[in-house]
Amino acid sequence: MSKTPNARTQLRNVWVATVDDLMGMTESELDTELKEMGIDPEVAAQRGKAAVEQATAKSRAIQRERKRQLMEAARGSSGIARDPGVTADVARTQLARLIAANDGRLTLAARNRNPGDMDDEEVLALYWQIQELSR
């Protein structure tokens, strides 16, 4: 056997294997366990589907509201001269660097975004909002 990994890696290995077991369960095994838990497998599937849909809808509403607030804040801020040379791609790269550096001016939600997936308007609004915060 090769060198024993450190305890953090060992612990991680144990939990990853536990998740692998879950992912490897067949539908028949899942049905058996659900019945043992007193849950009808068909009801479980329906409730699982509904949970995913509701969580997605609820999060979309929050994302829309955050985006609206961001745009509003960007429109309202007038104290900084906006360099027209800052294109959406420039803003994306700068934001990616701030995210990689875990910059404190970014909210946790912003840190979990990939600027590459934001639209131009959103990425520029976030970029100029951070510039305002840096003043």
Partner 1 sequence: MTRNMVLEVAAVHWTIEEFQAWQAEHLASRVDQKRWIVAAKRLLGSLNIEPSDLLGEAIFRILIGKRQLNRSVTIEANLFWVMKSIASSWHKRRKRKPEVSLEELLASDEESGDALEVLLISDDGSAPSPEDELAYKQELDALQAVFTDRPDAQMVILGRAEGLKGAELAAFADLNASQLATVQRLISRRLAGYRRDA
The contact set with partner 1 (CB under 8 A) reads 1, 4-19, 21-23, 25, 27, 30-31, 33-34, 37, 39, 41, 44-52, 54-56, 58-59, 62-63, 89-90, 92-93, 96-97, 99-100, 107-117
Rg for the chain (alpha carbons), in Å?
23
Packing angle, helices 88-100 and 120-134, rounded to 10: 60
How far is residue 106's CA from residue 19's CA, in Å, rounded to a whole number? 32
Which DSSP state fits 106? S
Nearer to partner 1 by Cβ, of 71 and 99: the residue is: 99
d(CA 93, CA 83): 16
Closest CB to partner 1 among residues 31, 132: 31
- Min separation Cβ 79 and partner 1, Å: 27
In the complex, the smallest distance separating the C-beta of residue 17 from partner 1, rounded to whole angstroms, is 4
Q: Give me the helix-helix angle, 41-76 and 120-134, nearest 10°.
A: 60
- Our CB check for partner 1 shows the closer of 21 and 78 to be 21
Count Cβ atoms below 10 Å from residue 21 Cβ, excluding itself: 9
Residue at token pair 């992912």: 23
Nearer to partner 1, 41 or 77 (CB): 41
Least distance to partner 1, CB of residue 78, Å: 28
Minimal distance, residue 25 CB to partner 1, in Å: 6
